[in-house]
Structure 1
Amino acid sequence: MKKIINDPATVVADSLRGMAAAHPELLRVSTKPAVVARADAPVRGKVAVVSGGGSGHEPLHAGFVGPGMLDAACPGAVFTSPTPDQVQAAVSQVDGGAGVLLVVKNYTGDVLNFDTAAELAAAEGGDVRSVVIDDDVAVKDSLYTAGRRGVGGTVLLEKIVGAAADRKVDLDGCEALARRVIANVRSMGMALTGCTVPHVGEPTFTLAEDEMEIGIGIHGEPGRERMPAENADGIVRRLLEPVLEDLPFREGDRALLFTNSMGGTPLIELYLAHGIAERLLAERGIRVERRLVGPFITSLEMQGMSITLLKLDDEMIELWDAPVHTAALRWGA
């Protein structure tokens, strides 16, 4: 194992300290417990949007803390759910009096720990609600989750709901919007290599030079099928077709296409794949009206990619276009 770290036991805390040094005007970072919050939190009168999960998926979630997106993120150990006390600490730091919406990826530990934190906050009089995202079409169940996994759609959900919260949409409205996004987003991923968790020291799985894995998860879980490696056209078709069939998407639908690197795939390959996906969608009469390309929900250094498709409506487009200012995503004013 070769990584630019000092000690596997302190890699998350060390990284958070570096993030705080890089973005002092934007973020307020604590390590005991680990919480990344907006520097101006709590913002009075707005719904606070909080998310989190295991580290190793950067920039998710801490990279999306800031105006127009998340109010706080709870980074757990690498590929390990954050603890209830982390979530509770985040809620207490950012609750501005209008309630808190927890965005939870569908992994057993995440769901249990966020639910526990919500119950503790409710016992103290807070209005805290949870939505669970489960956009991965690759599997119905896995070792890490009861049901479909939360993957690339999480980024789109956090942006759209974060924009609504910044516009002072109330908690009922933010929750309803989140559930609408969840109902209309689907994802599928693949890998050419596994990834190595620092404290484990060896790859989560290995592939021969001529193999690829279709349907992998963001924690290095093996996928639904191991098969001979294909060219980019073949890979994109294998990712896109299950996504299109699952919702299903139809001719005339408007969509946001998110082409994501799992951490080790360079942009030259990612843009190539994105172009193929755009062409295939155009052939089906699906209108790509918004796009996102890059490493936004990763699996350490895994070489691979995922495709996420969100069926858009006018409100989602307006909220996607709204200004955002985070470490990893920023546009507008």
Structure 2
Amino acid sequence: MKKLINNPDNFVRESLEGMAAAHPELIKIHFDPHFIYRADTPLQNKVAIISGGGSGHEPMHGGFVGMGMLDAACPGEVFTSPTPDQMLEAAKIVNSGAGVLNIVKNYSGDVMNFEMAAELAFSEGIQALNILIDDDIAVKDSLYTQGRRGVGTTILAEKICGAAAQQGYNLKQLADLCRKVNMSGRSMGIALTSCTPPAKGSPIFELGNQEIEVGIGIHGEPGRQRITFTSANEMTEILATSIIEDSAYSRILREWDTQIGEWVEVELTNPPLRTGDSVLAFVNSMGGTPLSELYIVYRQLVKLCEQDGLKIVRNLVGPYITALEMQGCSITLLKMDEELIKLWDAPVKTAALRWGV
């Protein structure tokens, strides 16, 4: 293993220290427990937005803390969920009194710990509401989840909801918006290689020289199948066709009711994409794939969307939700309407995403 690290045990802390030194005008870092928060927080009468997850997926989530996106992000150890005390302490710092929206990827550890954090926040007088993202169409259940995993739509929800919070949406409006984004997004990824967590020192799974994993998870979880290595166009078609042809997906999710302080069940359904729909097309690197290759994927994705009558109205191409140095990519298609387009276009200023400022 060759990595730019010192002691693997200090990997996350030293990375956070470097991030704080690089972006003092945007963020501050709280240690023990670790979390990243906006330098100008709390903002009066603004709902705060928090997300988090295991480290190793940078720039998600810490790179998206700033104006027009997240108010705080809680990083766990590599591929390990953050703990409830991180989320609670972050909520205390960023809460202005308007409440906190937690955007939670559908991984068992994240779900459990954010649920505990919401209950603790409620006991301390903070209104905290958790909304799950479960957009990965590759599998129904995986090593880490019950139901679909949360992947690329997470970033899009953080941007769109962050803009809405900046514009004054209240907690209920933000929760409804976040559900809408989740129900409008579908994702799927592919891996060409494995990756090596610093503490492990060896790849987390093995792929043959001519093998690729279709439907890979961001922690290296297996997907739908392993196939023989093929061209970029054919790999793009596998991902895009699977997303476009995905049927309606219904499930029941648990959400914290801030009024009664109890968990309630909410039934949600993702409607399928249809001819004539406008979409945001997101082509994401898993960490080791260069931007030049991502544009080859995007080139083919545009052709496939046009063939199916989908209009790409916005796009995002780059390494935004990674799995350390894994080679591969994921595609996310998010159905857009006028509200989502306006919120996507709104100004944002974070370490990893910025425009309009």
TM score, norm. by length of structure 1: 0.99
Mapped partners of 2:31, 2:237: distance in 1: 42
Shift of 1:118: 0.5
Match of 1:288 among 292, 301, 312: 312
Shift of 1:212: 0.6
What's 1:77 paired with?
77
What's 1:236 paired with?
236
What's 1:202 paired with?
202
RMSD (Å), alpha carbons: 0.7
Mapped partners of 2:309, 2:100: distance in 1: 39
What's 1:306 paired with?
330
Indicate yes or no: 2:153 matched with 1:153: yes
Q: Deviations over 1:169-197 (max 9, x none)?
A: 11110000000000010000000000011
Mapped partners of 2:18, 2:31: distance in 1: 12
Q: Deviations over 1:72-126 (max 9, x none)?
A: 0000000000000000011011001111000000000000000100000001111
What's 1:264 paired with?
288
Residues 38-117 of structure 1 aligned to structure 2 (within 5 Å): 38-117=38-117
Match of 1:319 among 337, 340, 343: 343
One-letter code aligned to 2:283: T
Structure 2, unaligned stretches of length 5 or more? Answer: 247-270
Mapped partners of 1:315, 1:160: distance in 2: 9
Q: Deviations over 1:48-89 (max 9, x none)?
A: 000000000000000000000000000000000000000001
What's 2:252 paired with?
none
Secondary structure at 2:50 match in 1: strand
Mapped partners of 1:206, 1:270: distance in 2: 23
Structure 1, unaligned stretches of length 5 or more? Answer: none
What's 2:301 paired with?
277
Shift of 1:271: 0.4
Shift of 1:311: 0.3
Q: Deviations over 1:134-177 (max 9, x none)?
A: 00000000111111100011000000000000001111100000
What's 2:258 paired with?
none
Equivalent pairs counted in the alignment come to: 333
One-letter code aligned to 2:281: L
Shift of 1:222: 2.0
Contact 1:205 1:222 in 2 (8 A): no
One-letter code aligned to 1:99: G
Shift of 1:31: 2.1
TM score, norm. by length of structure 2: 0.92
What's 2:168 paired with?
168
Mapped partners of 1:330, 1:268: distance in 2: 21
Shift of 1:235: 0.2
Q: Deviations over 1:182-230 (max 9, x none)?
A: 0010000000000011111111111122111100000111221011011
Secondary structure at 2:2 match in 1: coil
Taking only the aligned residue pairs, the percentage that are identical comes to 59
Mapped partners of 1:182, 1:165: distance in 2: 17
Secondary structure at 1:21 match in 2: helix
Q: Deviations over 1:225-273 (max 9, x none)?
A: 0110110111001111111112521111000000000000011110010
Mapped partners of 2:322, 2:229: distance in 1: 21
Mapped partners of 1:10, 1:250: distance in 2: 48
Secondary structure at 2:113 match in 1: helix
Mapped partners of 2:188, 2:11: distance in 1: 29
Mapped partners of 1:32, 1:308: distance in 2: 35
Contact 1:67 1:324 in 2 (8 A): yes
